[in-house]
Structure 1
Amino acid sequence: MAPDSKSAPLQHQEEEEQQPEDLDTLSHNPSAPPDELFDISTTVDPSYVISLIRKLLPANGSNNPNYRGDVSCGPVQGLNVDDMEKSALTRSGVPPPSTDTSESMEINVPVGEEAWEEYGCILWDLSASKTHAELMVQNLVLEVLLANLMVSQSVRTTEIGLGIIGNLACHEVPMKHIVSTNGLIEFIVDQMFLDDAQCLCEVCRLLTVGLQSSEGVTWAEALQSEHYLTHILWIAENSLNTQLIEKSAELLLAIIESSQDVMHILLPPLMKLGLASLLINLLDIETSKLMSERAPERYPILDVVLRAIEALSVIDDHSQDICLDKDLFQLVCALLKFPDKVEVANSCVTAVVLVANILSDVPTLASELSHDMLFLQGLLDVFPFTSDDSEARSALWNIIARLLVRLPENEMSSSTIQQYVLVLVSKSDVIEDDLLDCQLGGLGLKARTTALRRIISILNQWTASKDYAKENENNINIDRLLDCCCKHSEDVPSTVSHDMDLKE
């Protein structure tokens, strides 16, 4: 996961001139193509980074009525500010500040809230860099941030602090510092009960990164209380902020897709608390909004929720909660019939894999879809979006094969055959493109072969009918599709049964 980055414009021209480079450009502009890169160093002077950390030093926490002395924050607690500065600077080889009284007093006077936010946003940007992130943790930025967070009454300060830590967590060495900073993970987990959406977004992002890291078990153990897990589900279900819904869904997805050790700690209690039902309810909401509002800002939520459901559908101990839910099956089928798939292409690809997994567990559901022409057409519409996804392509052919093998061969009425022919011919271009470009193996190849042979059978029945003999402008396309399918179904292993399995 790429580190997030936020910045605020500097307010004083002289401060901008002190910066060694344009920090907004560093954090927000995309990298130049390889042939346009030049050998220009973009490293920020370490002393500048350290000076920013020093400017974030809090006032004496013991004099603050909001100071939580019961939470240890490592070197900050009980450490004089001057000692802390000198310790940090000495680690980096940068000389400590002058002992001149006037200069020392200027340095040690805490900055105002507005200035703190300004300097914090610069560090937020810089923390996206591995080099800068490692320099920061070596110079006690975590201790400084934790000390501020424990006494802060500003939600913006809290958001910035959590955002910086979230970026630091994306790097291996800083992550180890985060885990080893006494009380920090516990404090972060407690922030889930804040009532500010942006702060909660940063908490969810931080937890997501933590659970996906090599230190995931430590984060999972801190999060495993039912008190916390229930609140995560509550946030996902009740938030009206689209970004927070997305971030909380990403956190749930991270748990489902995490290592076995992390999943063993968190997934069983979440399932008991209703994770599957929550995800299906979220899918229902997002699908309904897609059909009615077409709000692009909600498309990422739909994608993440579908990915979480699909990930659950292949976990042996929990797949039944997904695959046996008829409401879910109807929702994903409705999504695949959605005409404007370009807007939600990734979601449709995930939906195809999910349907294939469901049919693998409950193969009888294929009979309900075998005569649904809109569903078949919707499936074929997804082919162009799967060109770089062999799993999704295999899933598509798997579903098509399951549907077609349930058609009564040589017993279909002429009108039924015609309906299938019209759908197949209308999508002949995408079928041919996939056959030409797609190299499948294993189950995907077997499923495709089964589907092709059934398509050939349907087309042959139509070409032998009296209706085909009549003048028909589609005859050329029918013949071309038939020829293409025959060519790609030759010399292929035996077909698969009705119960072919996509899941591994």
Structure 2
Amino acid sequence: MSIKHELVTQQEEEEDDELQIEQPAQNPPAPADELFDISTTVDPSYVISLIRKLLPPTMNPTSASLLSQTNGINKCETTDDNNDDEEKHVGPLVGDDAWEEHGCVLWDLATSRTHAELMVQNLVLDVILATLMVTQSPRVKEISLGIIGNLACHEVSRKEIASVKGLVEVVVDQLFVDDTPCLCEEFRLLTLCLRKNEGIIWAQALQTENILSRIVWVVENTLNPQLIEKSVGFLLTVSQSQEEVRDMLLPQLVKLGIPVILVNLLAFEISKLEGDERMPERYPVLDTILQAIESLTVIDGCSQEFCSNKKLLFQLGTLIKLNDKVEVATSCVTAAVLIANLLSDSDSLILEINQDLLFLQGLLDIFPFASDDLAARNALWDIISRLLAHIQDNEMSRSDLHQYISIFASKSDLIEEELLDHQLADSNKDQDTATASGRNLNIRTAALKRIDFIVSQWLALKDQNSPTKLTQEFVVNDRDLNRLKDCCRKYINNIGSS
């Protein structure tokens, strides 16, 4: 399906998404990493025969001759009869059903490191290069890129991909194919190759303005969830690549408007969460967009682009304040880390959210989802500490004070559990790690002191007024408050004595 057909109305967008979701899987999943291998009994001669069947009629005669020679087959200990039979299949028309069938088998077999290395040794990369140079079939291009993508999951074959003359450039040219499945495989392949040692070779092929503009155009205009995830995942990889690769690609991508585009994509995905019917297939898209933005906010030259975007903070706040976070818990944790990054770069941003009590409540709700992520928990405490530091004690009305107290009382169990988890983690740290976390302890302690102060202020107010009258006007569970106060003070005293 062409991207061109995905760009018009909301109705067309929903129809397009439905079409994409309903399509049966046409290809095998990529291996998780280069250590992935599949135990198989497939005869190597069968693999080589499949490569022969992909030979395009226009392939370089020298390469075709090398592939047709029996010396490669003899290594597999096959018979001459088998060789004669294989010769009959050399040079089918590219794009016919037989080519697609044989190509999909190789696509699957390439998940095995053993088969991948055998395929590379027997010129599969030369065959695919020749195919990509002549075919007009989007399906053939998709299969070809899929095969290379699975080969790129293995170190030895990935290095060979970068060494085949002209292959990198031809692969990069496939960015201009207006076909969604083809572009999904393209971005998967580029992502795999860019994050490894050969990344500099690929970055050099990608760095022209024409190519980077095309990448930005695809990210901005496609409505297909899988293609959004793959293309934004590519941007995430760029931001996390070695410095030389980042310097080649990132400044121009920022100049072309990637920060604004990512924020707009985030707003679109969050609008889907707020709808009547959530779409689970879009959750990975949301998470990838958030990861990409988070990664960019810690890079010099990119962070200011996001700090100055108030729309980003609003969208992150919307996500934090969702009542039902379970299905998007990972995204909520990432959003909290991202907000902490933004606040550390621009103190003035806290004024946009310092009186948003639903936001504070949403932050506390995220603690259980971040139980295994110390950095995320520290980020949550950092935001809470900044929020509470801006509360003006002398300007807080009885009603405002009650709202804070209600939140703390209702979330007292979460706060207590988080502090217990943190104390347990601290007891298992070595001295160097404990020293490095000193700033985070100060942030957490500052937040707990503010919570303790607010709770104590409420209890003092209750003592100064008629208990019955105050209780009737503002309902709060005193038992939860007293337990929370004791928990905060115990933690603060333990930190002070350590």
For normalisation by structure 2, the TM-score amounts to 0.84
| TM-superposition CA deviations, 1:125-163 (whole Å, max 9, x none) | 121122221121111111111222222232211111100
8 Å CA contact retained: 1:255, 1:262: yes
Query: Secondary structure, in 3 states, of the residue corresponding to 1:203?
Result: helix
Counterpart pick for 2:45 among 47, 51, 65: 47
Computed over aligned residues only, the root mean square deviation of the Cα atoms, in angstroms, reads: 2.7
- Asked whether 1:369 is paired with 2:353, we answer yes
Query: Secondary structure, in 3 states, of the residue corresponding to 1:153?
Result: coil
Cα distance in 1, alignment partners of residues 153 and 353 from structure 2: 44
Q: 1:361-440 residue pairs with structure 2 within 5 A?
A: 361-409=345-393, 411-438=395-422, 439=425
| TM-superposition CA deviations, 1:335-373 (whole Å, max 9, x none) | 111212112111111110111111111212223422211
Structure 1, 237-246 or 485-494: larger mean CA deviation? 485-494
Cα distance in 1, alignment partners of residues 351 and 26 from structure 2: 58
- Asked whether 1:318 is paired with 2:318, we answer no
Counterpart pick for 1:359 among 330, 340, 343: 343
CA shift in 2, pair 1:454/1:222, >3 Å: same
Partner of 1:446: 442
Partner letter of residue 166 of structure 2? G
Partner of 1:126: 109
CA shift in 2, pair 1:127/1:421, >3 Å: same
Cα distance in 2, alignment partners of residues 132 and 493 from structure 1: 61
8 Å CA contact retained: 2:30, 2:150: no
Counterpart pick for 2:144 among 145, 155, 161: 161
Partner letter of residue 461 of structure 1? Q
Q: 1:6-21 residue pairs with structure 2 within 5 A?
A: none
Q: How many residues matched?
A: 448
Partner of 1:226: 209
- Asked whether 1:475 is paired with 2:471, we answer no
Q: 1:97-246 residue pairs with structure 2 within 5 A?
A: 98=80, 103=85, 105-108=87-90, 110=92, 113-246=96-229
Cα distance in 1, alignment partners of residues 263 and 88 from structure 2: 57
Query: Secondary structure, in 3 states, of the residue corresponding to 1:464?
Result: helix
Question: Structure 2, unaligned stretches of length 5 or more?
Answer: 1-23, 33-37, 427-436
Partner letter of residue 475 of structure 1? D
| TM-superposition CA deviations, 1:27-62 (whole Å, max 9, x none) | 7999xxxxxxxxx9535332222222222222x20x
Cα distance in 1, alignment partners of residues 25 and 129 from structure 2: 20
Shift of 1:301: 1.7
Cα distance in 1, alignment partners of residues 490 and 83 from structure 2: 88
- Asked whether 1:333 is paired with 2:333, we answer no
Cα distance in 1, alignment partners of residues 39 and 189 from structure 2: 30
8 Å CA contact retained: 2:200, 2:244: yes
Cα distance in 1, alignment partners of residues 63 and 479 from structure 2: 86
Counterpart pick for 2:244 among 261, 268, 273: 261
8 Å CA contact retained: 2:107, 2:150: yes
Cα distance in 2, alignment partners of residues 79 and 219 from structure 1: 27
Query: Secondary structure, in 3 states, of the residue corresponding to 2:392?
Result: coil
Shift of 1:187: 0.3
For normalisation by structure 1, the TM-score amounts to 0.83
8 Å CA contact retained: 1:425, 1:477: yes
Partner of 1:57: 55
Cα distance in 2, alignment partners of residues 104 and 308 from structure 1: 48
8 Å CA contact retained: 1:462, 1:468: no
Partner of 1:249: 232
Query: Secondary structure, in 3 states, of the residue corresponding to 1:377?
Result: helix
Shift of 1:404: 0.7
Partner of 2:8: none
- Percent identical pairs in the alignment equals 52
CA shift in 2, pair 1:229/1:87, >3 Å: farther
Cα distance in 1, alignment partners of residues 479 and 269 from structure 2: 42
Counterpart pick for 1:457 among 425, 444, 453: 453
Query: Secondary structure, in 3 states, of the residue corresponding to 2:347?
Result: coil
Query: Secondary structure, in 3 states, of the residue corresponding to 1:125?
Result: helix
Shift of 1:429: 1.6
Partner of 1:15: none
8 Å CA contact retained: 1:446, 1:493: no
Partner letter of residue 163 of structure 1? G
Partner letter of residue 289 of structure 2? V
Cα distance in 2, alignment partners of residues 403 and 325 from structure 1: 20
Partner letter of residue 350 of structure 1? T
Partner of 1:65: none
Cα distance in 2, alignment partners of residues 399 and 282 from structure 1: 24
8 Å CA contact retained: 1:7, 1:122: no
Cα distance in 2, alignment partners of residues 493 and 267 from structure 1: 45
Partner letter of residue 490 of structure 1? N
CA shift in 2, pair 1:449/1:468, >3 Å: farther
Partner of 1:18: none
